[in-house]
């Protein structure tokens, strides 16, 4: 899976190839890795899930201007905004973790109570509002600020 839609080797497989390689030159020549940017991944997710930016802004509850700036690379989302973008894009847990990593924020970690709740909600198909309800129920800060 990559931004161009072609087949992409799993990261784990690439790591195995790198570790087994006789030299870094051989690995780089054979695999031709490139930097994968957040904007590339966001565009890939839009295409994959059949959304438009306006759909993501609406579903994530993030100001459309902020969403536009993130998608154009003008700004980087904070962690909660990145999680909300993942919900707005309909991401599964693996996609969410990759989005967080590319945004430069920490991934969800099941040893953290709040993160565990979010992970459970994502894997059980709950949306952003239902996830916020679960966080609120467990007296954890919600992803969307409450009035």
Q: Say which residue the tokens 């902020």 belong to.
A: 66
Domain boundaries of the chain, sorted by first residue: 1-34, 35-137
pLDDT higher than threshold 50 for residue 34: yes
Helix (H, G, I), strand (E, B) or coil at 102: helix
- Residue 84: count other Cβ atoms within 10 Å of its Cβ: 23
Mean pLDDT of 6-21: 68
Q: How much is the mean pLDDT over the chain?
A: 88
- Report pLDDT for 38: 93
Q: What is the secondary structure of 8-76 as a DSSP string?
A: ---HHHHHHHHHH-S-HHHHHHHH------HHHHHHHHHHHHT--HHHHHHHHT--HHHHHHHHTTS--
d(CA 36, CA 129): 30
pTM above 0.85, yes or no: no
pLDDT at 1: 42
Tens digit of each residue's pLDDT (9 = 90 or more) over 104-125: 999 999 999 999 999 999 999 9
- pLDDT score for 7: 34
pLDDT in tens, 50-78: 999 999 999 999 999 999 999 999 999 99
Percent of the chain whose pLDDT exceeds 90: 73
Tell which CATH architecture fits domain 35-137.
Orthogonal Bundle (1.10)
With pLDDT > 70 as the criterion, what percentage of the chain qualifies?
89
Q: Regarding predicted confidence, which is higher, 33 or 21?
A: 21
Name the token pair of 63: 């100001």
CB 70 within 8 A of CB 36: no
Asked if residue 132 has pLDDT above 70, the reply is: yes
């Amino acid at each position: 899976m990559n931004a161009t839609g072609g087949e992409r080797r799993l990261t784990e497989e690439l790591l195995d190839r790198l570790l087994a390689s006789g030299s870094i030159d051989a690995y780089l020549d054979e695999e031709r890795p490139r930097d994968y940017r957040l904007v590339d991944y966001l565009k890939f997710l839009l295409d994959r899930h059949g959304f438009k930016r306006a759909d993501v802004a609406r579903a994530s509850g993030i100001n459309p201007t902020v969403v536009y700036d993130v998608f154009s690379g003008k700004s980087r989302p904070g962690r909660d905004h990145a999680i909300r973008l993942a919900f707005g894009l309909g991401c599964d847990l693996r996609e969410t973790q990759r989005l967080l990593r590319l945004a430069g924020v920490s991934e969800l970690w099941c040893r953290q109570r709040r993160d565990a709740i979010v992970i459970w909600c994502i894997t059980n198909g709950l949306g952003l509002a239902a996830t916020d309800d679960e966080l609120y129920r467990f007296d954890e800060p919600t992803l969307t600020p409450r009035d």
